[in-house]
């Protein structure tokens, strides 16, 4: 890790109060760590919008009795331009399945792929969480 640099920030009292409130709610012990996390999160948000490689977690809840749905979801994964690193399938009850798919690829392609899966007829709920591969994030 490089050396730490100190810098000062000007904020209104009101904004600082809100910041400290948030910080407390989230369980941070000091402002610096929270600010570091906010900066890294902004960097990840930016990676998402570019052709940089990101990691993504896609969750899908669906009824496996819907005709052809399971096959469609598997086909989409085989054809995907993003790399499917791993997936887990859980049978929630007699009808419902939860699938967690971990992918790596360019931000916009990961979004596209998640949209395809989530938008497939019969998928009841889907979410994409994008995170960084960590490669471009300083500590
Ligand atoms: Ni199942």
Local confidence pLDDT in tens for the 139 residues of the chain: 578 899 999 999 999 999 999 999 999 989 999 999 999 988 888 877 778 899 999 999 999 998 899 999 999 999 998 999 999 999 999 999 999 999 999 988 999 999 999 999 999 999 999 998 888 888 8
- What CA–CA distance (Å, rounded) separates 108 from 105? 8
Structure-token pair, residue 126: 């889907």
Cα dihedral sign, 77-53-102-27: negative
How far does the centroid of ligand 1 lie from the alpha carbon of residue 110, in Å?
Answer: 24
CA of 96 to the centre of ligand 1 (A): 6
107 Cα: distance to centroid of ligand 1 (angstroms): 28
Q: How far is the CA of 98 from the centre of ligand 1 (A)?
A: 7
For 30, counting Cβ atoms within 10 Å of its Cβ (0-12 exposed, 13-18 middle, 19+ buried), the class is exposed
How many angstroms separate the alpha carbon of residue 108 from the centre of ligand 1? 29
Determine the Cα–Cα distance for residues 78 and 131; give it in Å rounded to an integer.
22
Predicted TM-score of the model (pTM): 0.79
């Amino acid at each position: 890790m490089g050396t730490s640099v100190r810098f000062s920030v000007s904020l209104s009292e009101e904004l600082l109060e809100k910041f400290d409130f948030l910080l407390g709610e989230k369980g941070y012990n000091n402002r610096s760590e929270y600010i570091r996390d906010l900066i890294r999160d902004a960097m990840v948000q930016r990676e998402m919008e570019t052709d940089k490689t990101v990691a993504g977690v896609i969750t899908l809840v669906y009824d496996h009795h819907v005709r052809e749905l399971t096959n469609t979801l598997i086909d989409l994964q085989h054809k995907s331009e993003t790399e499917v690193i791993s997936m887990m399938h859980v049978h929630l009850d007699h009808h419902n399945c939860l699938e967690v798919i971990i992918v790596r690829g360019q931000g916009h392609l990961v979004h596209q792929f998640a949209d395809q899966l989530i938008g497939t007829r019969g998928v009841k709920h889907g979410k994409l969480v994008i995170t960084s591969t960590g490669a471009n994030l300083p500590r």
